[in-house]
Amino acid sequence: MSSEKQETAAVRVLGRWPSPFVIRVLVALRLKGVLYELVEEPMGNRSELLLASNPVHKKIPVLLHHGKAVSESLIIVQYVDEVWASQGPAILPSDPYARATERFWGQYVDDKLPSAIRVLRGKVAGDKDEAAAQVAAALQHLEEACVQCGQGKDYFGGDSIGYLDIALGSHVGWVRAVERMARVSLLDAAKLPSLAAWADRFCAHPGVADVMPDTDRFVEFSVKNDGVLKAN
Amino acid sequence: MVEKGVKVFGMWASPMAIRVEWALRLKGVAYEYVDEDLANKSDALLRHNPVTKKVPVLVHDGEPIAESTIIVEYIDEVWKDGYPIMPSDPYERAQARFWAKYADEKCIAAIYPVFTSTGEAQAKVVHEAQQCLKTLEKALEGKKFFGGGDFGYLDVIVGWYAHWLPIIEEVCGAKVVTDEELPVLKAWYDRILAVDVVKETLPPRDKLLALNKARREQLLSA
């Protein structure tokens, strides 16, 4: 039963679960203990609310905070970190050099992974071998960054998950799914020991586990929606 | 032995490198500028930025940072008591970052084809570039600068248009930013060119024109 005058949640996220970009926003909000409403965007048909909130790109995720729209996942993550600075762990570190380093790798992740993953899932046409090589090369660099940034601790952010953990970790669901679908080894524990171990820790983190489902569900989603037949 | 001080690895004709200079100068920070030959990159550059190997790179007390937009935010944070570059309000900061990303991902991609095309094909891409810039222009409406009353982050990021775009237009024989199509952006050019840090650093017009003419000839004959 809905009341005539519905109260809109102060924090709403326009999105859909399989999007790594949406997952980033949800993890950030959960880390900060911020209550939010996830407004599911239907597949294939952009809602009026999305078009009004993100007229430039018409893409998810969009954060609506008291009705004001913030778009672009890593920009939203920083916004969440700044607005709710007084609660929860810091998402970006306080040291400017460490912040710049995490931002650099965050941008690197988005330059190298999403386009290659789209090819590997069969969502977009392309050379799968080339795409796999691109992901592997990128993850090799990130393995080194993992050792440097983390300094022996559990996450890139140290003892708790931070900006780069969120930026890269959000892609782990799809990375593991395409490993299975395209039959390639990407997060290879032999080649990338630190990163592989970190990936398991990230996925098991309480702020993450509820918003990033098992690999099975990603594969299921891809088989159903990505339009290309995948043998298993 | 840690090398103290601030070094900028850049290239005299690079709009990305100039962003870093503007940010440092706004803060009154002295720096050494290393002009790279991009066809023959120095060992130092490759050592400081092995991942993307691009300019600009800021080296602060021996520690390197790459990616101009990230470097500008770093400068703002380190020299936080100096001129404020980023807006202080989180929502305004998000907007500034959003438009910086839009400009660097969409507008550059829209402008580049103007440079590499001719004739009818060029007319089409000029129109597309104008649409892209019109979207960006909305963030400027009713304001002196993208930053509001003062030269701010987004001005640092896109201010290069005021000097580079008219040169590119001259080289290609195209008119993109006109009084008819982009009056607000065009009017902002003069304000940008009057800013001290901009005046101090702009590469000489004739040199930039000659370089871009040569580049275009090369691209069209390939």
Domain end point (choices B51, B78, B105):
B78
Q: Is the pLDDT of residue A23 over 90?
A: yes
Query: Would the pLDDT of A229 be above 60?
Result: no
Do B213 and B107 lie in a common domain?
yes
In this structure, the answer to whether residues B194 and B107 fall within a common structural domain is yes
- Distance between B150 CA and the closest CA of chain A, angstroms: 22
| Token representation of residue B81 | 């008591």
Residue of A139 and A44 predicted with greater confidence: A139
Contacts with B169 (C-beta within 8 Å, 6 or more apart), sequence order: B175, B176, B177
pLDDT digits (tens, 9 = 90+) for B170-190: 999 999 999 999 999 999 999
Reply yes or no on whether the pLDDT at A1 is more than 60.
no
Using 50, 70 and 90 to split pLDDT, how confident is the model at A5? very low
CATH of domain A96-231: 1.20.1050.10
State whether B163 and B143 are in the same domain. yes
Q: Do B74 and A70 touch (CB under 8 A)?
A: no
Average pLDDT over chain B, rounded to whole? Answer: 97
Percent above pLDDT 70 for chain A = 94
Q: What is the overall mean pLDDT for chain A?
A: 93
B83 domain-assigned: no
- Residue pairs spanning A and B at CB distance below 8 A: 54
pLDDT attached to residue A232 = 38
- Examine domains A11-83 and A96-231 and report if their fold is the same: no
Q: Which domain, by its residues, includes B57?
A: 6-78
8 Å CB contact of B94 and A75: yes
- Look at residue B61 and tell me if it is in a domain: yes
Interface test with A, best of B81, B91, B133, B153 (most A CBs within 10 A): B91
Say whether both B122 and B35 belong to one domain: no
In A, which residues are within 8 Å of B67 by CB distance? 103-104, 107
Higher pLDDT, A44 or B45: B45
pLDDT at A8: 78
Angle subtended at Cα B144 by Cα B194 and Cα B130, rounded to the nearest 5 degrees? 90
Query: Closest to B66 (Cβ–Cβ): which among A68, A72, A104?
Result: A104
pLDDT of residue B214: 96
Distance CA B213, CA A11 (A): 51
Closest chain A C-alpha to B67 CA, distance in angstroms: 7
What are the boundaries of each domain within chain A? 11-83, 96-231
Contact B91 A68 (CB under 8 A): yes
B61 and B116 co-located in one domain: no
- Looking at the domain assignment, is residue B62 inside a domain? yes
d(CA A30, CA A22): 12
Cβ contacts of A44 within 8 Å, gap of 6 or more: none
Which pLDDT band, with edges at 50, 70 and 90, does A4 fall under?
A: very low
Claim to verify: residue B67 and residue B95 sit in the same structural domain = no
Instruction: Inspect the interface and report whether the beta carbons of B78 and A96 lie closer than 8 Å.
Output: yes
- What CATH fold (topology level) applies to the domain A11-83? Glutaredoxin (3.40.30)
Q: Are B59 and B98 found together in one domain?
A: no
What is the rounded (10 degree) CA torsion for A176, A181, A185, A187?
-10
Of residues B131 and B3, more confidence is placed in B131
Please report, for the domain that includes residue B119, its CATH number.
Answer: 1.20.1050.10
A121-144 pLDDT per residue, tens: 998 999 999 999 999 999 999 999
In this complex, is the C-beta atom of B21 within 8 Å of any C-beta atom belonging to chain A? no
Structural domain contains residue B43: yes
Evaluate whether residue B180 is within a structural domain: yes
* B211 belongs to a structural domain: yes
B222 and chain A in contact, CB less than 8 A: no
User: What are the tens digits of pLDDT across the range A63-122?
Assistant: 999 999 999 999 999 999 999 999 999 999 999 999 999 999 999 999 999 999 999 999
Q: How many domains does chain B have?
A: 2
pLDDT at residue B50 greater than cutoff 60 = yes
**For residue A6, what pLDDT is reported?**
54
Q: Does B73 touch chain A (CB under 8 A)?
A: yes
φ, ψ dihedrals at A18, nearest 5°: -75, -10
pLDDT of residue A44: 82
Band (B222; pLDDT cuts 50, 70, 90): confident
Q: Which of A74, A76, A77, A103 should one mutate to test binding to chain B, selecting the residue with the greatest count of B CBs within 10 A?
A: A103
Distance from CA of A144 to the nearest CA of B (A): 11
> Which strands, in side-by-side order, build the sheet including B32-35?
B32-35, B6-10, B57-60, B63-66
pLDDT digits (tens, 9 = 90+) for B189-215: 999 999 999 999 999 999 999 999 999
Cβ contact (<8 Å) for A75 and B101? yes
pLDDT > 90? residue B79: yes
Quick one: B122 and B152 in the same domain? yes
Q: What is the pLDDT of residue A231?
A: 42
pLDDT at A152: 85
Share of chain A above pLDDT 90, in %: 86
Does the distance separating the beta carbons of B98 and A70 come in below 8 Å? Answer: yes
Q: Measured between CB atoms, does B70 come within 8 Å of chain A? A: yes
